[in-house]
């Protein structure tokens, strides 16, 4: 009997294959996945698996073989659709307030081809990304923003988009932190997390 491969295991393998040559990008993605494993304890099992998978692959669009537009959320999402992972593609496409950067780049239509759940998984993925530094270390979101600005430059589309997204991202981070502090271990998150719009 052939055992099915878990989505998170497949994502880890593919993430490593595509991102390990980029060094820190893969280290960051692994750190985001470790954070997702902690956060996922507060999610239903199916959503937990999806969050961990999205964490491993949220930056996969930086892989040179996938970079078509040069906008990693959409480049990664396109590849995931080709692999048959529509829901995962939507989470990757819309991670960490990417719609704001898409507007700056004039790529809103391309991003709009992917479903934005605007729910707990989107918020949880943003939380994991914004609390993990480039070397996989834990960071406060403000430190993460400062690091991104240093690496990309204040006038880059990445930073401009992130600054525009910041108020909504901080609402999502606060909501996840509240849920992490306010629920018992293993108890699924209930209700709706404030969406990233």
pLDDT at residue 94, as a whole number? 98
Percent of the chain residues past pLDDT 90, beyond the cut: 81
pLDDT at residue 181, as a whole number? 84
Average pLDDT over residues 31-47: 89
The domains located in the chain, with CATH, are 7-182 (1.10.3210)
pTM for this model (two decimals): 0.88
pLDDT at position 1 over 90: no
3-state SS, residue 132? strand
Segment 112-117 long-range contacts (CB within 8 Å, at least 24 positions apart): 114/74, 114/77, 114/81, 114/89, 114/90, 115/86, 115/87, 115/90, 116/90, 117/87, 117/90, 117/91
**Of the candidate ranges 138-142, 172-176, 182-186, the one whose mean pLDDT is the lowest:** 182-186
pLDDT at position 188 over 60: no
pLDDT at position 10 over 70: yes
Average pLDDT over residues 162-186: 83
- Which pLDDT band holds residue 4 (cuts at 50, 70, 90)? low
pLDDT at residue 2, as a whole number? 47
Backbone angles phi, psi at 136, to 5 degrees: 80, 0
């Amino acid at each position: 009997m052939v055992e099915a491969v878990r989505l998170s295991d497949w994502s880890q393998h593919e993430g490593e294959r595509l991102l390990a040559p980029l060094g820190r990008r893969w280290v960051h993605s692994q750190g985001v996945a470790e954070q997702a494993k902690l956060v996922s304890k507060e999610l239903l099992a199916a959503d937990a698996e999806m969050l961990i998978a999205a964490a491993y692959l949220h930056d996969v669009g930086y892989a040179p073989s996938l970079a078509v537009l040069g906008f990693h959320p959409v480049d990664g999402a396109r590849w995931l659709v080709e692999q048959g992972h529509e829901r995962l593609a939507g989470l990757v496409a819309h991670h960490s307030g990417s719609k704001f950067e898409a507007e700056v780049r004039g790529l809103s239509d391309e991003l709009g081809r992917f479903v934005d759940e605007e729910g707990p998984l989107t918020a949880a993925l943003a939380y994991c990304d914004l609390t993990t530094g480039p070397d996989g270390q834990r960071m406060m979101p403000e430190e993460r923003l400062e690091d991104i600005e240093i690496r990309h430059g204040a006038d880059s589309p990445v930073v401009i988009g992130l600054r525009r997204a910041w108020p909504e991202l901080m609402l999502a981070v606060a909501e996840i932190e509240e849920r992490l502090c306010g629920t018992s271990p293993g108890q699924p998150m209930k209700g709706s997390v404030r969406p990233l719009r």
